[in-house]
Structure 1
Amino acid sequence: MPAGTRQVAGFSGDQLVNAAHIMGAAADLKLPVAAQILGVQAAIGESTLKVIDQGDAAGPDSRGLFQQRANGAWGSYKDRMDPHTSATNFFKALQRVKGWQDLEPTEAIHRVQSNADPNHYTPFRAPAAAIVKALSGADLGDIDANGTCPDTAATVIGDLGSGQWTSPLPGATITSGFGGRACPAGASCNVNTTEHKGVDLAGGTGTDVLAPTDMKITVAEQGQGWKAGYGTYVIAQQVDKPGLVFEFHHMVHGSLKVSPGDTVAAGTPLGTVGTTGNSTGVHLHFQVASPGTPAGQPTFKHVIDPTPILKAKGVL
């Protein structure tokens, strides 16, 4: 069925034709499906996939699918109003964003579009993925909204290594699980529901956050800029196979007991559980990413549910 005669995720007609132009522009540049989804996601957030011949109060000279400004960076008026050309220029700008593939989708788009709210594009990820899957004509299987094939705990749980394990917050209980959830009361969310990329472990003030297994510290800092929501946080990679990547958020500022480059054993204190960053109470946000995920920056791709891993090791 042609793109113009079907409906996908609430979009139809010229909207899907424009999405097809965006996908084609990415394909012409030999970019992966992840880029196609980002492009459609951006255009939904900017114009609901319509070629708009007007701007808004913040950018009265903005035009087209991507609301590109008349500042010389996006070509002529004709270029900005042409779906394929404007998408091509979006993708060329995306390619200049270092490590765009490893950024959270809304952040990657924000670095191109410079929206006042870097989280503006988050709610458009799922419909963008649905559109790309529907229009591609291919079975994309388990490709998720990021355009990646997500791992699950089941794919790694059978080979978690022989090293010692402990709870990252002994005696704690899970107060918020992995996956979709309502925005916590008092938290800052741009939509009413969010995708929780880890688990929240409740613990008393002053409790040490511990290394769950032998691991190498790659990041240990107080979050700044778009990472400020993490508060004081640590990222580390499992030393033993399979090489999981761990994140620990919301620790007390100034409490870190480790530094990047340190290799620590299971049970080593990392810092003190707290409520820094985008947090509504004292707790540890514990996040796990599958083997092969870059450990030198916050991990968004290939996050997996930590709960069955901790249970398999008998520490939860």
Structure 2
Amino acid sequence: MVQIVKKSKGKMVGLFLLIVLLFVCMLSSLMFGITHYTLADIYSMVTSFNAQDLTHVIIWKERFPRMVIAVVTGASLAVAGLISQLLTRNPLGSPSVLGMNSGSIFFIVVFVVLFKVSDLNVIVYFAFLGALIATVLVYLLGSLSNSGTTSVQLILAGIAVNAMFVSFTQIILLMNQKGMNDVLFWMAGTISGRTLDMILAVFPFLFISLIAACFLGRSMNIYVSGESVAKGLGQNVMLTKLTLLILMVVLAGGSLAVIGNVAFVGLIIPHLAKSLIGNGYVWLTPYCILLGSIFLLVADISTRLIHPPAEIPLGVITAFIGAPFFIYVAFKGGRARG
């Protein structure tokens, strides 16, 4: 993989430029949509909010929550993807490929459609549970072979678990078609219509996990060198794997609980970050946080601008970009092994 920035000073400058770009994208998220607003409108809303002013209300009640949700969930999905690629030692690793998306959606569908759960704070925990069970199943299926767990087996197990949960979800919805509208947002993947309360329910979990991932950069650098080498350097490999697995489940499950089935963010962003700065996880984690936030902000803005006044589901945009990228990475990996 080509590494564009090699020196620490250059990586620091790159980090600063990404922060600036993130700020620009955040402003753009507040400005652009079916109705466009100016920087003066945003400044007026911040300095002298007027509940009777429709512009202020739309920016604060609709645009601001979308911006915050895109920033937080984009960063979380990107870091979850980085961790999944590290744990599986496979460039195709991501929460969606490992079945976490479909697992979360299945549990949301079960409890919303069958048990009529409507409390968003409760639904969040069901999404966590679905992501956790999907991950455990993938690791169990991936370790059934006599040769032990390999990256290819984990990916194949993830595809199988994903297909299983998708099938179960479709069966439930076919049997309870009236409940389709209640879960349509989560199945399509979208930020539209989400409120600050939804992200606040998971924000503490996501924030702590992102900070923890940043501090684990050196441990990830040791782990990526191989388990035998890591043990030789004194690392508790089982504790490291368990910690990273928990972080991945929390980051992916918490994000999916809010925005639904938005795939491929965790696949694309780690590769983009590695192409910029190489494989050092001390730098990769903060780069993934910023790039993931920028990517989902741009994708969300695109959903409003491509076919106004209608909005395209966010999951469609990320899949449109991610599916060809998945094929490219798979082809590149297969050619390299060949």
TM-score (normalised: structure 2)? 0.24
Q: Relative contact order: is structure 1 or structure 2 higher (C-alpha 8 Å, sep ≥ 6)?
A: 2
TM-score (normalised: structure 1)? 0.25
User: Rg larger in 1 or in 2?
Assistant: 1
Query: Which structure features the higher share of strand residues?
Result: 1
